[in-house]
Amino acid sequence: MYLQLGTVRRERKVTTTLTEPNTFFGLQIQLSLVGSCVLPDRNPEEICTYTPGLHTDNNSIDPQTLVPTRINQTSNVGDIVTPESLEFMKLPGFQRGANGQELGIDFFFPNAGSVFGNSQSNSTIAKREEHIENMPAITFSRINQTVKANYNKSEISRTFRGFALVVDDDNVLENSLVQIAAEFLPNAQLNIEGSEEKVNTNINQNLFRAINNTRIPNDSFTTYHMGWGESKTPETNPDNYTDPPQGIFNSFWLGISPVINATFTTNRSLQLTGRGRGVFAGGEGGTTSNLSFISAVNEDIFTTAQLEQFYTQIYLAFINQDGNIINTTEFKEKTRYYPHASFTGNITTNNQLWRYYTGLIPADDLKGYIGSDFTIFYGNDNSWNTNIATIGYFNPDRYNYSSISGSQGKTFLLGNNANLVIASNFNWAIDRQTTIGDAVVISRASFLNVQGKLRWNDVYFGITHFVGDIFPDSVEEKLSLDVGLNFIPYVQLSGFYTPINENNGRSEYGANLEITLGSSVDSPTLTASWINQEFRYGQDPLGREINNTEDIFAIIFRISR
């Protein structure tokens, strides 16, 4: 029996804010024309307005864009101007009328355009915040394993039953019902027949290797796992048998697995940070002034030249104001757990492993897959290894997608306490989603790398090179160097440095300290790590790189039983 307590991720949110300094250009237009009435059905002795009463509602200016959203109309062309309003309009400066009468045009556009930079700054500031929310998970499990043999054959069965409670998960009720129902599924049964011959106890080691090579879905909790395997039994002791028969194991797996839903939102807002600086021009006057004005309303044209008595106001203001354009993006991953059923099997020999599997996850978008991988070891002491794997999905997404991957490695023994490993790995993400909603959000999953690691006594040196532009949306050029040291028993210190990295997000250097509190494989471990992380966001209008750097520290204490 096993009881485990832990946490799983519920939500991850990354908010990026780019603050770009700008100088905003504002424009204010103030116009009016009044004069003797020449309109039909009007008394020529009275004074009419020849501009509509329109003005910007300053309370309607959108703080996100600094653009007015409402224009109010307070009068019409041809309205009679009261004597009080006429006298008030003749005061210095633009006046719209008196005693509640509002005449003329008064438009204000605080954002008629902008240019990069202002009197306060000419550098874009990048800020990145990452928030991770976890939820507790409790698992309880039991394992029943049986081995039977006769004179020439052996079989093995394994039945695993578990219950996982992911607290606060949105599907906790549905998942719990599925797990309770799984308690009534049968145990694996062996069908090996007895014989009169004496049982051969030289159980084939490939049978045990086959059961341990079973594929379990990543990051999942097992509710029910039932399988059986078989193999021919060597006639001699397996320690002296160089080529034992193959072992076969097939099983049915049922559990709950995480399905991640990603959202990406953007927001653009403007922020004023200084007082306006303006250039003002204009004037006002009547028949004794040298001002002229033309008002075109529909098909009618009115000019100061045709009016016997007129008074006009013409004012323009050009305003400069410091501010910022703030671009905010939010990338959010929400994790939910769903039931997951899978059939998996493998054929294991001394130097080959072939696994095959298929599965189904009834999430909101039904997800199914089928895949296989093959590994072969060859050369002296199986020092060469080659692996090729492929998996295909229907309804692929950003996290579950079809791919072809593989690796090739070779180990060179350089003495009793030294070896050199040279390897290459690749992954081709075939149909991974590059959009979230309507936004294109590329996270590179395809890659090709070559690496080498030299280990000598308690020290190792490694180098890894990612080759850029091999596959569509592949990882860019990257060269990483790492070193590690076991300087006292159960204490390992390691670090890395990345002198070349063309990717937008990169870890330039970092270090890791791991302390094992005991000598067994189940001993508690304490890990402390530090990573210097750099994020790149392109260039500003002046062609300068926009980036920010973070130092990330983590301390992890792990206990397993």
The answer as to whether 412 is a domain residue is yes
Tell whether 412 and 452 lie within a shared domain: yes
Tell whether 470 and 507 lie within a shared domain: no
The answer as to whether 349 is a domain residue is no
Averaged confidence pLDDT in the chain? 90
Tell whether 29 and 113 lie within a shared domain: yes
Tokens of 258: 């995480």
Average pLDDT (331-358) is 95
The answer as to whether 437 is a domain residue is yes
Give the pLDDT score at 241.
58
The answer to whether the pTM exceeds 0.85 is: no
Among 329, 354, 383, residue at a domain's last position: 329
Give the pLDDT score at 462.
96
The answer as to whether 207 is a domain residue is no
**In which domain, by residue range, is 542 found?**
490-561
- 132-136, 414-418, 460-464: the lowest-pLDDT one: 414-418
Give the pLDDT score at 226.
95
CB burial class (10 A; 0-12, 13-18, 19+) of residue 527? middle
Residue 97 has pLDDT above 90, yes or no: yes
Among 275, 306, 329, residue at a domain's last position: 329
Numbers of helices and strands, H then E, in the chain: 3, 28
Cα-trace Rg, the chain = 38
Tell whether 544 and 501 lie within a shared domain: yes
The answer as to whether 250 is a domain residue is no
The answer as to whether 293 is a domain residue is yes
Tokens of 556: 């992890």
Average pLDDT (442-458) is 91
Tell whether 390 and 470 lie within a shared domain: yes
Give the total number of structural domains in the chain.
3
Tell whether 371 and 308 lie within a shared domain: no
DSSP 551: E
Residue 325 has pLDDT above 70, yes or no: yes
Tell whether 417 and 443 lie within a shared domain: yes
The answer as to whether 156 is a domain residue is no
How many other C-beta atoms can be found within 10 angstroms of the C-beta atom of residue 277? 13
Q: pLDDT by residue (tens digit) across 385-441?
A: 999 999 999 999 999 999 999 999 999 988 888 999 999 999 999 999 888 888 888
Give the pLDDT score at 204.
87
If one compares 254 and 194, the residue with the highest pLDDT of the two is 254
Residue 408 CA to residue 449 CA, distance in Å, equals: 11
The answer as to whether 448 is a domain residue is yes
Give the pLDDT score at 237.
61
Among 413, 442, 475, residue at a domain's last position: 475
Residue 240 has pLDDT above 80, yes or no: no
Residue 251 has pLDDT above 60, yes or no: yes
Tell whether 540 and 453 lie within a shared domain: no
Q: What are phi and psi of 103, to 5 degrees?
A: -120, 165
Tell whether 377 and 468 lie within a shared domain: yes
Give the pLDDT score at 242.
64
Tell whether 20 and 87 lie within a shared domain: yes
Cβ-Cβ contacts under 8 Å for 125 (sequence gap 6 or more): 18, 19
Tell whether 496 and 523 lie within a shared domain: yes
Residue 561 has pLDDT above 70, yes or no: no
Q: DSSP string covering 46-91, please?
A: SEEE-S-EEEE-GGGB-TTT--B--EEEEE-TTPBPPHHHHHHHTS
Tell whether 458 and 549 lie within a shared domain: no
Query: Diameter of the chain by CA atoms?
Result: 133
Contact 14, 130 (CB under 8 A): yes
Give the pLDDT score at 276.
83
